[in-house]
Each structure stands twice: as structure tokens, then as C-alpha cells.
Amino acid sequence: MSTTTATTSNSTYTNPILPGWHSDPSCVFVPEENNTFFCTTSSFLSTPAIPIYASQDLTTWKLASHVVTRRSQVPEISNATSQTQQDGLWASTIRYRKGKFYLLTSYVSMYPDFKFTGLLFTSSDIFDDAAWSEPLRFQIGDIDPDIFWDDDVDGQAYITYAGISQVPIDLETGETGTPYKLWAGTGAGLPEGPHIYKKDGWYYLCIGEGGTELGHRQVIARSRKVSGPYEGYEANPVLTNAGTGEYFQTVGHADLFQDKEGHWWGVALATRSGPNWRVYPMGRETVLFPVTWEDGEWPVLGAVRGTMTGPLPVPECETPPGDGPYVDADDDIDFEPGSGIPRTFLFWRFPNEESFAVSPAERPYSLRLLPLKSNITGSGAAEGSDADPAITLVTRIQSHTYFTYSVDISFAPTKEGEEAGITLFLTQYQHIDLGIVLLPSSSSAPSSHEPKALKPHLRFQTTLLDDLNTPATQNVTVPDTVAKALPSSRGSEIKARLKIQAIDDTHYTLSATLLDSSPGSKFEFTHEVEAVLVSGGTGRFTGALLGTYATSNGGDGGTPAYISRWRYNGLGQKIERIDTRGEDA
């Protein structure tokens, strides 16, 4: 392992640095951790929750840990309070102080009223999931908590939150003082995502405004006291792509930090949609920009583009620390005996762990899925119910514009409605599925005393239980459901390769090929679908997930499905409105 403290000249890099659904970023530089940067992003209802990524050069990132891996930490994620697809763990702040990492966030419930609870997690080993504490819960007046210690005065810790207000907090008890208003922003509305920095005797308050859509922007104010009054910068906004033709839109919700050479940097969320803001299945992603901040002056934030330059730091190590996967890594997973659920995998809410088994004795080198009655469509338990709303769904983030994802499925359904397949998943209200399902045969003609014969079918269908929320999508044609009977196989079990491909940045194809059909009964299926169907709508805060599922569709079937040869191959990123294929966003 070699080390260096050399200062680099400007280097070229590309955005996003955390591709795919990685919204509301917050980052910290920690010299005590071998000069490593750590960033976190929102997770909403996905688990394990609140990912932490590590890097030493700001462009190569590996998963360090997840903050929430135990149901006891945030039981709200899995019970009946999670009634909307935007509930869950929203924007976080990560900070480091005296050997300890602090992660602040809020659990948000949007039904029946908008409510939020402050949560503070701590860890002394950021590379260990289990080291993250149970949360210290505290009262908060709004979302997006930030923490700041006034070490130059009395060491008091302050929580600042959307609004923009502040309270002192006791980090032992969670007790907070009387809240007071800091700043109303510049008038663009929805002031949120605050962060406080102290520099050259000034307290700087940097916030997002204008909502996390096309009007998103970053503004800044400063004061001689942490409690204000704060005076806004006359040249605000300091960061935005609003009103431009840039491919990266919705830029805002920024956080600023320094590297080992004293250079300033910023991260923000952004959407690769162009000004039409129509097709953006990967949702809000994390982008990096250089910052110039002279003594006593206001910071100058670099404009967010696909191709960037800046004084990138020289890494201390040849590879980022930790044993986690790279953020944009491919999947080549065969579910070997002795292995567990890969760290790239995500569930929607906490899973029923009995529904998933890696390399079971009866079928090594596979992932066994046991269906629950719960379909992947829905909102969980009914209001007031104690039922676990777990669904048999396991996914990964779409982290490339162009990709191929496939799995092999072995499935022998025996009861009507049993289903297993793959999904392009945004929320439980918005997904596109291709599955093997046992349905009545349309070719049989039973008498009045006999039920129709059941036969395995391949079924393509979309679930869109809400409109897509943007005028640009009102003329989109939602594809019809297609169900085709499968030919006889060599045995009772259907063996098929199911695949999702991004053929360009606006369309997917879903396809199926039987792997063990009888001679002369070759079966193939391909269906194209628009990516706008998983852009915005009920998932305007999230992004596309790719995965596999099993369900009895409300019945009492319990036939397992076996998933093998899980493959995800990233094929490239589109970072400009006109890419190498000549396609305009």
C-alpha cells in the first residue's frame, strides 16, 4: 500500500458520482479514517436503510455500511404507519466528531397527517453495519435535520431543520430547547435541507429552495452568531440549473466539505432528465462539483454538468477502504452455498426473512423465494392492523443508463394465482412485471361441473395506480396486460430466463426464453415499454429498482420459486442531452 500527500492539478471526472437512486446527499471528510470521504443518501422505505459510501478520490465509491439493518431501530418501516410510498427515512446529515460518526435523519409519515420524528444514530466503526446504534429519538419541527457543534464557543450541539429553524439539543437525553427561526430564505418557497458551516468567524447557512423539481436551487446566508440573525447573499442562488437547457436538472439539496489539501467540494442531488423533466427512471442522483471559498468571502459553487474538472485528491490507498461493493458494480451472483443475501440487494420495507433462503439444501446455487399472500402491489397492512406488510421482493438499484439484467427462474406452480417473475420497480403503486403465473387455460372447455384446467402462463403487466404527476406524461400509452400460455416442459417445472434491458435512455425491453421446453415447442417473448412509466408519479422521491418477486396473489399457494444466475451488466451512462448515439433528451 502506497501513500501520498501530493496536490493534484485539475482532473476531469463525470457526474453522477453515485449513479441511480441516491438522493439528498450529505458528506464528510475524516482525516482520522485515512483521509476518507463518507457520503450518505436517502432510503425512504427500502431496507437495509441509509447507505454510507466511502471514497478517497471522490469519484470511486464503495458501500461502507448501512445505518439501519435491524427492525428494532426503526420499527415504523414495517408496520401500518407506512401507508404511502413516500413514507420512511428521508434526507440525512452525516458528521464526525471526536472519534464518533453521527447520522441524523427523520422518519416521515405522510398518512393520515404529515408527521416526522428525529433520529440520531452513532457509530465508532463505520465499516460495520452492527456498530450503528439504536437511535436517540428527539422532537423536531420539520424534516432534514442538520447537526452543528459550536466548538469555538461552548461546544453546544444544535439541530437545524427545514423551515428554517434551530434548537439546541442534549445528545445524551435527546431533549431539545425552544425552537427559533433562523432565516426564511429568498422567497422561492420550501426552504429545506439546511447545513451550517463555520469559517473565518462567520456562520454560513446553506439551504435548498424551490422544491425538489425543476425550480430547485441552493441559496446561502451568514451570521456572526449561530442563532442569527442571518443575512442572505445578494448573488443567490449559488447553485441551480433551473431555467437552463442542461441535461442535469433539479439540482439542489447540497452539502459542502473540504479535502486534505483544504480544497472545498460540494455534493447535490440532480435528475438526468433535461428541461422536459419527462424521462428519469433512475430518479434523483448524487453529483459532485468544486467550490472556491476565499477567506471572508462567499463560496462560489461550480455549475453541475456531466463532464467536470476539479482538483481531485490523490487517494491514500489503491482501492477505497472496506469490503463493500462498488456503487456502480455489476452483479454476477450464483448464490453459492455458505453465502448470504448480497449487500447490493434491497427490500421494500423490512422483509419476512423466512421468505428468502440462499442455496437451500434442496436446490443449491439458488435463491429460494416463498410467496406470501401480499402482492408487490399495495400499501402494506390496513390502517390499524398489526399484520406484517412484508412482500417477497428483492431488488438492486438501476445504476446505469444502459444495462442488461437477467435471472433464471425455476418454478412449478400448483395453485391458481401463484406467480414468480422479475420487475422494474419504482413503488408498490408503480412497477412493470414479467412473471410466470398459473392461470385457467383459455383453450379448455370444461362442463358446468368442472373447473377450467390450469396452465402456466407468461404474463406481462404494468401497475400504475396513480397518474404520473407531470403534464409531459399525460399522453403516454399504458401497455395492455399480455398473458400467453407456456408450452409443455420436460417436467412439471418451468425453467426460464427473464430479462430487462435498457435499449436506450427512454425504453426498456422485457423478454423471456424457456430453458427446458419440449422439442419443437420453442417459446420466446419480448415486449418494449417506455421508461416514462417508472419516472415520477408515486415514485418522485425514489428511483428504479430491478428485482425478482414471488406471490400467491391473495391465495393460499406456497410453492417456492428458485432464482439462479442473477446478472446485472452496466453498459454505459448518458451524461449529456445529446449522447454518442445522437439522442436528444
Chain segment 299-309, per-residue pLDDT in tens: 999 999 999 99
- The H-or-E segment that residue 393 falls in is strand 393-397
Same domain, 218 and 340: no
Which residue, 267, 295, 310, sits at the end of a domain? 310
**Where in the sequence is the domain holding 473, given as residue range(s)?**
333-376+390-443+452-572
CA dihedral 125, 128, 130, 135 (to 10 degrees): 50
Domain for residue 3, yes or no?
no
Among 78-82, 84-88, 99-103, the least confident range: 78-82
Classify 261 in phi/psi space as left (phi over 0), alpha (psi -120 to 50) or beta: alpha
Nearest by Cα to 101 from 56, 60, 131? 131
Same domain, 69 and 118: yes
* pLDDT confidence of residue 185: 97
User: Higher pLDDT residue, 451 or 344?
Assistant: 344
Domain for residue 79, yes or no?
yes
* pLDDT confidence of residue 372: 87
* pLDDT confidence of residue 491: 66
- Tell me the DSSP string of 306-374: SEEEE-PPPPSSSS-SSSPPBTT--EEE---TT--S-TT-BEESS--GGGEEES-TTSSSSEEEPPBS-
Number of domains making up the chain: 2
Question: What value does the mean pLDDT take over residues 40-61?
Answer: 97
Residues 465, 472: Cα–Cα separation, whole Å: 18
Domain for residue 319, yes or no?
no
Domain for residue 62, yes or no?
yes
Is 424 within 8 Å of 432 (Cβ atoms)?
yes
* pLDDT confidence of residue 5: 37
Same domain, 51 and 166: yes
Distance of CA 574 to the CA centre of its chain: 19
Structure confidence at residue 374 as a pLDDT band (50, 70, 90): confident
Question: What value does the mean pLDDT take over residues 277-302?
Answer: 97
Same domain, 298 and 354: no
Specify the CATH number for the domain of residue 408.
Answer: 2.60.120.200
Give per-residue pLDDT as tens, 226-249: 999 999 999 999 999 999 999 999
By DSSP bridging, strand 561-572 and strand 367-369 are: antiparallel
Residues 463, 299: Cα–Cα separation, whole Å: 45
Question: What value does the mean pLDDT take over residues 216-221?
Answer: 98
Distance of CA 447 to the CA centre of its chain: 51
Same domain, 27 and 119: yes
Structure confidence at residue 2 as a pLDDT band (50, 70, 90): very low
By DSSP bridging, strand 482-485 and strand 300-301 are: unpaired
* pLDDT confidence of residue 448: 55
Is 498 within 8 Å of 434 (Cβ atoms)?
yes
Nearest by Cα to 273 from 263, 285, 260, 257? 285
Same domain, 258 and 403: no
Same domain, 361 and 283: no
Specify the CATH number for the domain of residue 52.
Answer: 2.115.10.20
Structure confidence at residue 318 as a pLDDT band (50, 70, 90): confident
Is 306 within 8 Å of 575 (Cβ atoms)?
yes
Nearest by Cα to 541 from 164, 282, 275? 282
CA angle 99-103-105, nearest 5°?
165
Is 376 within 8 Å of 391 (Cβ atoms)?
yes
Residues 14, 12: Cα–Cα separation, whole Å: 7
* pLDDT confidence of residue 516: 79
Same domain, 356 and 298: no
Same domain, 272 and 355: no
Instruction: Supply the mean pLDDT for the chain.
Output: 92
Domain for residue 231, yes or no?
yes
* pLDDT confidence of residue 397: 98
* pLDDT confidence of residue 3: 33
pLDDT higher than 60, residue 28: yes
Same domain, 186 and 103: yes
Domain for residue 101, yes or no?
yes
Structure confidence at residue 445 as a pLDDT band (50, 70, 90): low
Q: Give the catalytic positions in this structure.
A: 24, 192
* pLDDT confidence of residue 6: 41
Residues 486, 409: Cα–Cα separation, whole Å: 14
Classify 264 in phi/psi space as left (phi over 0), alpha (psi -120 to 50) or beta: beta
Domain for residue 397, yes or no?
yes
Question: What value does the mean pLDDT take over residues 21-25?
Answer: 98
Same domain, 291 and 352: no
Question: What value does the mean pLDDT take over residues 93-106?
Answer: 98
Domain for residue 584, yes or no?
no
What is the dihedral sign for C-alpha 157, 161, 167, 171?
negative
Same domain, 342 and 250: no
